[in-house]
Amino acid sequence: MEQGAILVTGGAGYIGSHVVRQLTAAGERVVVLDNLSTGFAEAVGNAELVVGDTGDQALVSRLLASHGIDSVLHFAAHTVVPESVSNPLKYYGNNTCHTRNLLACCQEAGVRHFIFSSTAAVYGIPEGDACTEDSPNAPINAYGTSKLMSEWMLRDLSAASGLRHVALRYFNVAGSSPDGSIGQSTPRATLLIKVACEVATGRREKLMIFGTDYPTPDGTGVRDYIHVEDLADAHLKALDYLRGGGESVTLNCGYGHGYSVREVVDAVERVAGHRLNVEEAPRRPGDPPILIARADRARSLLGWEPKYDDLDFIVRTSLEWEKKLAAGEVYGA
Ligand code: UD1
């Protein structure tokens, strides 16, 4: 039986574009809705791109009906934790209110499957070594809260309607497509590996280590870094799962172990082959000390088998893309 078409919001962004690439390679019919605020038209490849906002209900309803959409993958969001602390309403507006509008359109159009980009930030400062999906939700920044509220809307809507969903809680996504065709060109990036690679290629003067007094082995923040291609694959597996009749579920996406900021800096220096200009700085608002996933559930339920659990490989693909950016060879340069 032919599968329905897929709407990917935020498909021109960093993570969304890697998912779009995998979906189109698998022969899926994909429509991207992206306002290009941080995404790039070039990143969507052969997929159809509609430039617009997820909060625009008239546009979204039109798209769902005209393309016969039965699955929605929702990436469009603001994602910068410290910005969410200084400008919370920006995050509640885009991440929560616009998701509510999108869900209203989905309900009206009878969309059956919804895959939501959630975040490890819903756990706040977790107790213990690693978070399971059942760990308490206690976000410490507006970003995490804005996403958690969307999870709750999805939970309630799935209970009240025929919609089924998978909420994927991403840990720290990094790396770029190993074939070098797409990558992370996000302007004014704040992500550690991206920033470190910008320093390595000379596009940024120095790397600040935000906090050296955390209760971690070397005093710097620890995160579970996952390659974007593995994360993208989890979305395709989640779609298969829903199409196969799977129940709504929330799943962590990480590798289950973490690296400190200093360990990441070491890896970037190793891969780049030279030292980075690094400076120690105070803690950044909204940052928890440690975030590591227990991700067994995604593996067992979806059959997800990550392929790139290797920090140096992750860094290498990031650095390759960064070099192309520095040379002006790719979009976003
Ligand atoms: C990232 C995601 C967030 C997600 C979270 C899940 C983005 C923009 N952020 O946030 O959506 O909820 O993972 O874990 O997608 N650091 C430095 N110097 C820098 C940059 C970062 O020391 O220049 C440190 C941070 O203090 C932190 C670690 O590196 O300890 C990772 O930070 P970052 O890469 O910004 O990601 P998160 O804030 O964890």
Q: Please give the domain boundaries of the chain with CATH numbers for all domains.
A: 5-174+225-253 (3.40.50.720), 192-223+256-326 (3.90.25.10)
Q: Which of 79, 81, 85 to mutate to test the pocket of ligand 1 (most atoms within 8 A of CB)?
A: 81
* Pairing, β 69-74 against β 172-174: unpaired
- Residue closest via CA to ligand 1's atom 20 equals 192
Please write the tens of the pLDDT for every residue from 90-111. 999 999 999 999 999 999 999 9
Structure-model confidence comparison of residues 188 and 183, the more confident one? 183
Contact between 12 and 40 (Cβ < 8 Å): yes
What mean pLDDT do residues 82-87 have? 95
Query: Would you state the pLDDT for residue 128?
Result: 81
The strands making up 48-51's β-sheet, listed across from edge to edge, are 48-51, 30-34, 5-9, 69-74, 113-119, 164-170, 249-253
Comparing C-alpha atoms, which of 288, 222, 295 is closest to residue 255? 295
C-alpha 140 to ligand 1 mean position (Å) = 14
Residue 278 has pLDDT above 70, yes or no: yes
The CA-CA-CA angle for residues 195, 199, 205, to 5°, reads: 110
Query: Would you state the pLDDT for residue 305?
Result: 98
**Amino acid of residue 281:** A
pLDDT band of residue 282 (cuts 50, 70, 90) is very high
The strands making up 290-291's β-sheet, listed across from edge to edge, are 259-260, 222-223, 290-291
Query: Would you state the pLDDT for residue 283?
Result: 97
DSSP state of 225: E
**Calpha distance 223→312 (Å, rounded):** 15
Contact between 32 and 74 (Cβ < 8 Å): no
- Residue closest via CA to ligand 1's atom 35 equals 191
**Calpha distance 247→238 (Å, rounded):** 11
Atom of ligand 1 nearest to the CA of 221: 30
Three-class DSSP category at 117: strand
Beta strands in the chain (DSSP E): 5-9, 30-34, 48-51, 69-74, 113-119, 164-170, 172-174, 207-210, 222-223, 225-227, 249-253, 259-260, 278-281, 290-291
pLDDT band of residue 120 (cuts 50, 70, 90) is very high
Helix (H) or strand (E) holding 18: helix 14-25
The proportion of the chain whose per-residue pLDDT surpasses 90, expressed as a percent, equals 95
Query: Would you state the pLDDT for residue 207?
Result: 98
Residue 80 has pLDDT above 80, yes or no: yes
Query: Would you state the pLDDT for residue 110?
Result: 97
Contacts 24+ apart (CB under 8 A), 53-56: 53/98, 54/9, 54/10, 54/98, 54/99, 54/101, 54/102, 55/93, 55/94, 55/97, 55/98, 55/101, 55/102, 56/101
pLDDT band of residue 127 (cuts 50, 70, 90) is confident
- Lookup: tokens for 138: 């206690």
Three-class DSSP category at 73: strand
C-alpha 287 to ligand 1 mean position (Å) = 8
Atom of ligand 1 nearest to the CA of 209: 22
**Amino acid of residue 42:** E
The CA-CA-CA angle for residues 270, 17, 45, to 5°, reads: 115
What mean pLDDT do residues 103-130 have? 95
Pocket of ligand 1 (CB under 6 A): 79-81, 119-121, 171-172, 190-192, 195, 207-211, 221, 223, 261, 284, 287, 291
Query: Would you state the pLDDT for residue 129?
Result: 77
Query: Would you state the pLDDT for residue 296?
Result: 96
C-alpha 191 to ligand 1 mean position (Å) = 5
Atom of ligand 1 nearest to the CA of 190: 35
**Calpha distance 257→255 (Å, rounded):** 6
C-alpha 56 to ligand 1 mean position (Å) = 30
Query: Would you state the pLDDT for residue 187?
Result: 82
Question: How many of the other CB atoms lie within 10 Å of CB of 218?
Answer: 12
Question: How many of the other CB atoms lie within 10 Å of CB of 332?
Answer: 18
Residue 1 has pLDDT above 70, yes or no: no
pLDDT band of residue 286 (cuts 50, 70, 90) is confident
